[in-house]
Structure 1
Amino acid sequence: MQGVKTQSAIWLRVAFPLASLLALLFVIHQLPHKLLLRYSSHIFVLLQCLWGREREREQGGRSSRKWQQQLLLLLLELHGRQPPPPLPLPCSAQKLEARGKETKLLTPVMTSAANCLSGGSLFCSQAAMMLPKLRLHCVQCRPHQFQFHLACKLPDGSFQHLGKSQKYVLQDPVRPEVLIGILLGLQTIPATDGGRKWELVETVRSMLNSLHDGEISVSAYDTAWVARVPALDGSNTPQFPMCLNWIMNNQLEDGSWGDRDLFLTYDRICSALACAIALKTWNTGDKIVHKALEFIRKTMPKMELEDSTHMPIGFEIVFPAMIEEAMALELDIDYTAPVLQTIYAERKKKLERIPMNVVQNYPTTLLHSLEGLHKTIDWDKVIKLQSPDGSLLFSPASTACALMHTGNEKCLQYLNNLVKRFNCAVPNVYPVDLFEHLWIVDRLQRLGISRYFTQEIKSALDYVYRYWTDKGIAWARGSPVQDADDTSMAFRLLRSHGYDISPDAFKTFQEGDSFVCFSGQAGQAVTGMYNLYRASQVMFPGETILEEAGSFARKFLEGKRQENQLYDKWIISKDLPGEVEFALDNPMHARLERLATRRYIDQYAADDVWIGKSLYRMPFVNNPIFLELAKADFNMCRALHRKEFQQLERWYDESSLSMFKGFSRSKLEQTFYSAAATIFEPELSPARLIWSQCWFLSLGINEYFDYQGSTKELEDLINNVERWNVNSLGNCSAKVKILFVELYNIVQNHSKQGFLYQGRSIGGALREIWKTWLSSLLQRTKWKMSDNYPTLEEYLKASHSSIEPAVRSTVYFVGETLATGDLKDSAICQMMNTASRLVQDTHTDKVDSSLNSITIYLEENPQLTESEALSQVQALANKNMQKLLYETLQPGALPQACKQLFLNAARIMNVFPGICYRVFSFTDQVPETQVFLTVKESVNYSGEMTPSNNSNHSLAARNCFAALQRPRHILYNKAKCQTTTSKESDYSKRKRTRSRSQTRCRNREGN
């Protein structure tokens, strides 16, 4: 009998938990997928309580009671009860170690999942036998966010599902619902190439962590000058015989030296002559010298046909000096070639701009080319201009020449370090630490992959900021000569990352009404002016020096574009003309980040060549790893965006909004594209969907009440929002009821999701957002119906952009916890609304609206014409964008990620003032080679896409899109917009009011 009782007890202890588990899995299986995220933390706790042997021991066998209570709470919530309070987090899940650092997890979902997947109670001894130890790795995406993915120690990096032999590779990034789906067997994850992407990420991270003085290719020209240095002990031998051997071992088949993959006549002849002189100086390598001289004789006439844009730095100074030395050594070349006379003339012209007493007493760019002046300068004076590392403006050739004339110990130490560092050769300039740090960060940002390397980028910019001076910076730390190119790049990157930096440094490069890269420079470089123009795009209000610099740089670049001369003397790039044209046509305040990334992926090349005193390459700046990672990341994001848009389309099909003409499918695509092009990160998927739904709804509501709905209907809608009860809609029209029900469903859904993200109810805040925006719409409608104009200040203060509900709703879903009054106390929302309203008004046709900033400005300033008022309003819009940028980059109570949303929204309104841009479909991948064009299309009232007839659009398609050449606001068909009621419609009243406004405007023009 005792045995029977024992068997019964064992059966109950085994069968009851199994039956309960089946019941739990049944409940979970019935849970809609869109609610899976909401209840994920409760599900995890249930599973831990059910299977957690350690917790069962701690609670003395009360585990089953605990999980029954949790199951009851979950069932009550599924049946419409209020959500239970947040569950306590397990102690072991409070922190995880990620790359040697303790990182706090963001949400209860991730915390519970981390506890389970990093050795928590869910993974019992059986799981430990099946799998090696799992770690939840953390990749910081932004200073305020972390992106999580699983990494298993299996050779192929895959995750083996518990209880099954199938293997799944987790999606990247892993969202909480994906974790739950894998753990409970509700979702299968197909294998992807995500493992390769993370290999690339780690490779790039290793590169960034190894940044020091710069990775750069060697220079035959500079190595030849180092090889010429005689032994300092007085023996008739070279001080650096290994450099002489390098020259003899690295001659190319044609007899020259230089870049194997790119032939430039100036570069090859200069390097060949320098190497021939070095070998002849030590009477060695006669066959090599003969072959080099034969190449020079054959190639020198081609210099007359070579584009002088690609002439090496200082060529007109050093080449004539080497010709004289070759003549002294009786080298057999043509000393009467006409091209030599042209080069001598250029040398004379340059030396006239910088007198010799200036060269010998003050730091100038000629310190970089002293080997061309070594017979005429006073070396005792020049050596005082030595850099702290022992070089003369970081030029090995110039420093070698100084060592030959002075025997300076610091020069010798500098060259010894270089020869050892570069294995018997030297580069054309070294170090290049600031240059490399800055250009790597720029490339990573433009390729759209900088979010993987937030900490590394911060370290790089901290390094640059450490060497920033009031006069700017150069390519290397401690340089006595600054240049506008590196200063512009540093200024833009540092300011955009929140560093306190003054634009007064650009006064160093201002000469009258123009700007130069170096003092005494003969001509401007396209890339120097290009980076100066980009730097002026991060201007704050009142910074006139940046305004002047931007105006000059833009005028210079526009001139080069018209002349088809967008080529540079410092770099041979894959598509520099395309980069410059895109920047000119798409100012920063009217540019979508992902659009710029997609364009730059086609423009970036892994084999760009830079022009110094010889051609050189920067393998950490241009390499195939960056490009492969950028393509993989872009395609991964694009695939995710495509799935999200399909989900959005299903929501649209299930809703009743399609019955309204203003809620077209093309407009839905526009709103989602605006989200995907700015907040594109995979972990922000909920934010994109919320943004798209809210903006789509606000655009449709605005359009409906602008052309069809009456003021009474708008007031009814506001009253329903205040009551917030779908069962008591009052006496309102059917369309108002539909609009309110759709708004109610969206807000309720967003409120439920927001509870998980914020840990509190945000339903009241979301309702207040819509109430405020609708009240603003009502106020503007009443103003339009009245002949009384508000002041411009009143108008802008009361104007709330159609994108405001989307932005203010989305800020709760970007990974930041917001206090109740953070948004209310912030002025950034008003700045965004003002900037957006001004931009919209400058793109609104005067016959479309009687109430806008231009007509109000004309009322307040009757002496102005309409074109003058338009210019004033455009200037005011630009000023407000500067204020918004300043507010975004300044520290404050509102997190940076939230402020960035408001700035992105204002930029979007600059891009979409009545135009829908279909840049590429959501099925597009990044191919190996593809010319990227933007298709610009107008949106008619029926919602169909029709090609625009604007002649500017062909140019915009070639350059992505022209932000400053957009057609006016879309005019809608009057017959479609009028209502069928017997009374005069609001549209007709506004039409009469617009006609009066037109008459007033024509009278002003006539006077």
Structure 2
Amino acid sequence: MYAQISRPVANFHPCHWGDHFLNITNPHHDEVVKVKKELEVSQLKDEVKKELLETKGNPLELLNFIDAIERLGLAYHFEQEIEEALKQVYENYEEQCAKDDLYHVSTRFRILRQHGFFVPCDVFNKFKDENGSFKESITKDVPGLLSLYEASHVRVHDDKILDEALAFSTTHLNAMVNQLSSPLADQVSHALHQPLHKGMPRVETRHFISVYEMDPLHNKTLLKFAKLDFNLLQALHQKELKDLKRWWKGLHLNVSFSRDRLTEAYFWILGAYYEPQFSFARKVYRKIFKSTSLLDDTYDAYGTIEELELLTEAFQRPWSKSCMEELPEHVKWSYYAMVEACEEAEEDLAKEGRSSFVNYTRDQVKTLSKAYIQEVRWCHEKYVPTYDEYMKKIALVTSPYPHGIVASFLGMGEIASKEVFEWACQNPMPDIIKAASTIIRLMNDIGGHKFEQQRKHLASAVQCLMEKHGLSEEEANEKLKEEVEDAWKVINQAMLQPYVIPKPILTRILNLARSANVMYMGYDDGYTHVNQTLKDKVASVLAHPIPM
């Protein structure tokens, strides 16, 4: 019956990983090995904590030590100690910047901004000449120029000197990268591809461990700690991914039309939170995340408008698996997966007396499905909205970060209070959620525009600008890239004190924006078309332990 129906099938390429992560073996999965390594980590942690306290009397040594701890992925072990130390760094900010070189001024500025301290950027004026341009002499200090480049990505609106710094450092680093020798050449090349502030923490940590090891002045205790900690966490992440794959297989869904991207979905979630204390949050979130991916594919790459109207109506009513019988074959599976994921979330959260919070996610899914069906109607009618209409009415909701962000809070414990969920679900949406949604939506639209227009598909932001605003494709892409950069400034502003909600909650939103940036790196849809660059990143984080 359904074979005769014309469907917008996308023919997504198959999963790259197969059953690799179901069958993967890792010495750290052995309980005896794990306990032994955890004891070693505990001892190294004590040593590093002692060193951190001992460096407090030396401002530059303290700054470099904190930077190394953070970039090696160890900051979650020392959150309180780092915050206390940074208060001291903040108090001496102006005085210390006045006498420091470009590298340390830039590093101090970046770290303090990333920790919510609104430090002024006029400290960079001393690196300018009498004409107000950055001095050409600083291009000879490549580590300093690289640090300036990294610092410029924490800019907010009106940080004009940082806008100039980004343009200046990018131009000069690009010009010199092929003349540099290793390991500095590798560091510059990596940063130009992926600025630290916009990268996924696990990916950046894995890269930096290799960089740090090549530094002849590296701290041996810190390096060993970082490697052990990374490998232990990787073993935990592998187990979680294996559990997700078993759960998904156990649902017995007939959804061959959808993207088989379980590994990439879990990798995306790790971008939001990799730390061991968020293992429960990942357990809850990963099921809802994957079910949302299937829902997106059902609306976008399979269902007819008649089938999807029925699916949307089912989501608006009280949820029940018995409703599946009223839905067409294949389309019903996305309903089943989402209902099952939310029911299991309720069961898990009931142990904490927090099961009622799942209703916030259900409400978000209702809103999401209504936005999805509006996309389908516009596509069916061949309607091309204006850019503003597209963004305001559907594009941010179907990104689908407003829903995904709320779901990421579910397993975070008491810090994700009723007030947090009410804040996140308000209409209009909070600026930081709108900004994160803008980043994923526009990067996705630029990356997927050509592929999606090869079949019957809703007009993207690129097409809206071309057809309704008279821009060329190149002009449309440039405008959207400017919007993405503007959204990053909004996020950076929201991450400064005083926080509107607890910082760990805001950090999930920042990190999900980072995940989107990595998945759509180079404005290429890496989730739909998994390229070699993304495969390598996934493998580095999830497949390959670091040699000790």
TM-score (norm 1): 0.47
**d(CA) in 2 for partners of 1:507, 1:647:** 53
Amino acid at match of 2:484: A
Contact 2:298 2:334 survives alignment (8 Å): no
Match of 1:638 in 2: 234
Match of 1:592 in 2: 200
- The 5-angstrom pairing of residues 274-673 of structure 1 reads 433-469=58-94, 473-474=96-97, 481-511=99-129, 512=131, 514-516=133-135, 524-562=140-178, 564-565=179-180, 575-588=183-196, 590-605=198-213, 608-609=216-217, 622-657=218-253, 659-664=255-260, 667-673=261-267
Match of 1:718 in 2: 312
Match of 2:489 in 1: 882
Question: What are the Cα deviations for residues 361-420 of structure 1, in whole angstroms up to 9, with x where unaligned?
Answer: xxxxxxxxxxxxxxxxxxxxxxxxxxxxxxxxxxxxxxxxxxxxxxxxxxxxxxxxxxxx
Match of 1:702 in 2: 296
**d(CA) in 1 for partners of 2:162, 2:185:** 23
Contact 1:594 1:678 survives alignment (8 Å): no
Q: Which has the higher helix share?
A: 2
- The CA RMSD measured in Å over matched residues stands at 2.5
**d(CA) in 1 for partners of 2:354, 2:298:** 36
Match of 1:897 in 2: 504
- Going from structure 1 to structure 2, the CA distance change for 1:541 and 1:871 (only over 3 Å counts) comes to same
What displacement does 1:765 show?
1.3
Q: How many residues align?
A: 492
Amino acid at match of 1:198: S
**d(CA) in 2 for partners of 1:559, 1:830:** 35
Match of 1:166 in 2: none
**d(CA) in 2 for partners of 1:190, 1:838:** 43
- Report which stretch shifted further, 723-732 or 187-196: 187-196
Specify the SS of the correspondent of 1:192: helix
Amino acid at match of 2:442: L
1:838 paired with 2:442, answer: yes
1:791 paired with 2:414, answer: no
What displacement does 1:790 show?
2.5
**d(CA) in 1 for partners of 2:42, 2:431:** 40
What displacement does 1:190 show?
6.6
- Going from structure 1 to structure 2, the CA distance change for 1:514 and 1:757 (only over 3 Å counts) comes to farther
5+ residue gaps, structure 1, are 1-170, 173-186, 214-432, 475-479, 568-574, 610-621, 929-1007
What displacement does 1:842 show?
1.5
Specify the SS of the correspondent of 1:927: coil
Contact 2:295 2:335 survives alignment (8 Å): no
1:824 paired with 2:425, answer: yes
Aligned residue among 199, 202, 207 for 2:51? 207
Amino acid at match of 1:831: A
- Going from structure 1 to structure 2, the CA distance change for 1:715 and 1:895 (only over 3 Å counts) comes to farther
- Going from structure 1 to structure 2, the CA distance change for 1:188 and 1:731 (only over 3 Å counts) comes to same
- Going from structure 1 to structure 2, the CA distance change for 1:860 and 1:195 (only over 3 Å counts) comes to same
- Going from structure 1 to structure 2, the CA distance change for 1:522 and 1:783 (only over 3 Å counts) comes to closer
Contact 1:437 1:461 survives alignment (8 Å): no
Question: What are the Cα deviations for residues 583-606 of structure 1, in whole angstroms up to 9, with x where unaligned?
Answer: 111134652110110111111138
Amino acid at match of 2:373: L
Specify the SS of the correspondent of 1:657: coil
Contact 1:814 1:897 survives alignment (8 Å): no
**d(CA) in 1 for partners of 2:507, 2:244:** 24
**d(CA) in 1 for partners of 2:492, 2:284:** 24
Structure with more contact order per residue of length (Cα contacts < 8 Å, sep ≥ 6): 2
Amino acid at match of 1:871: E
**d(CA) in 1 for partners of 2:458, 2:335:** 28
**d(CA) in 2 for partners of 1:540, 1:887:** 9
Question: What are the Cα deviations for residues 562-620 of structure 1, in whole angstroms up to 9, with x where unaligned?
Answer: 3x2257xxxxxxx22222211111134652110110111111138635xxxxxxxxxxx
Question: What are the Cα deviations for residues 216-245 of structure 1, in whole angstroms up to 9, with x where unaligned?
Answer: xxxxxxxxxxxxxxxxxxxxxxxxxxxxxx
What displacement does 1:207 show?
0.9
- Going from structure 1 to structure 2, the CA distance change for 1:566 and 1:886 (only over 3 Å counts) comes to farther
Question: What are the Cα deviations for residues 700-751 of structure 1, in whole angstroms up to 9, with x where unaligned?
Answer: 2222322221122222222222221222446321223332222111111112
Question: What are the Cα deviations for residues 175-225 of structure 1, in whole angstroms up to 9, with x where unaligned?
Answer: xxxxxxxxxxxx999743211111100011111112244xxxxxxxxxxxx
**d(CA) in 2 for partners of 1:749, 1:760:** 10
- Going from structure 1 to structure 2, the CA distance change for 1:817 and 1:901 (only over 3 Å counts) comes to closer
- Going from structure 1 to structure 2, the CA distance change for 1:606 and 1:911 (only over 3 Å counts) comes to closer
Match of 2:8 in 1: none
1:690 paired with 2:308, answer: no
Amino acid at match of 2:294: G
- Going from structure 1 to structure 2, the CA distance change for 1:189 and 1:746 (only over 3 Å counts) comes to farther
Match of 1:44 in 2: none
Match of 1:47 in 2: none
Q: Which has the higher strand share?
A: 1
- Report which stretch shifted further, 202-211 or 809-818: 809-818
Aligned residue among 734, 740, 755 for 2:329? 734
Amino acid at match of 1:717: L
Match of 2:546 in 1: 926
What displacement does 1:554 show?
1.3
Aligned residue among 385, 407, 413 for 1:809? 407
Specify the SS of the correspondent of 1:843: helix
What displacement does 1:465 show?
0.9
**d(CA) in 1 for partners of 2:33, 2:215:** 37
- The 5-angstrom pairing of residues 51-62 of structure 1 reads none
- Going from structure 1 to structure 2, the CA distance change for 1:670 and 1:803 (only over 3 Å counts) comes to farther
- Going from structure 1 to structure 2, the CA distance change for 1:752 and 1:207 (only over 3 Å counts) comes to same
Match of 2:3 in 1: none
Specify the SS of the correspondent of 2:477: helix
What displacement does 1:888 show?
3.3
Question: What are the Cα deviations for residues 859-918 of structure 1, in whole angstroms up to 9, with x where unaligned?
Answer: 4432x3221121111111111122122223343342222222222222222222322322
What displacement does 1:498 show?
0.5
Question: What are the Cα deviations for residues 157-180 of structure 1, in whole angstroms up to 9, with x where unaligned?
Answer: xxxxxxxxxxxxxx99xxxxxxxx
Amino acid at match of 1:746: A
- Going from structure 1 to structure 2, the CA distance change for 1:783 and 1:892 (only over 3 Å counts) comes to farther
Contact 1:807 1:902 survives alignment (8 Å): yes
Amino acid at match of 2:362: R
Amino acid at match of 1:839: M
Specify the SS of the correspondent of 1:515: coil
- Going from structure 1 to structure 2, the CA distance change for 1:707 and 1:535 (only over 3 Å counts) comes to same
Match of 2:16 in 1: none
**d(CA) in 2 for partners of 1:531, 1:874:** 23
Amino acid at match of 1:810: S
- Going from structure 1 to structure 2, the CA distance change for 1:827 and 1:758 (only over 3 Å counts) comes to farther
Specify the SS of the correspondent of 1:734: coil
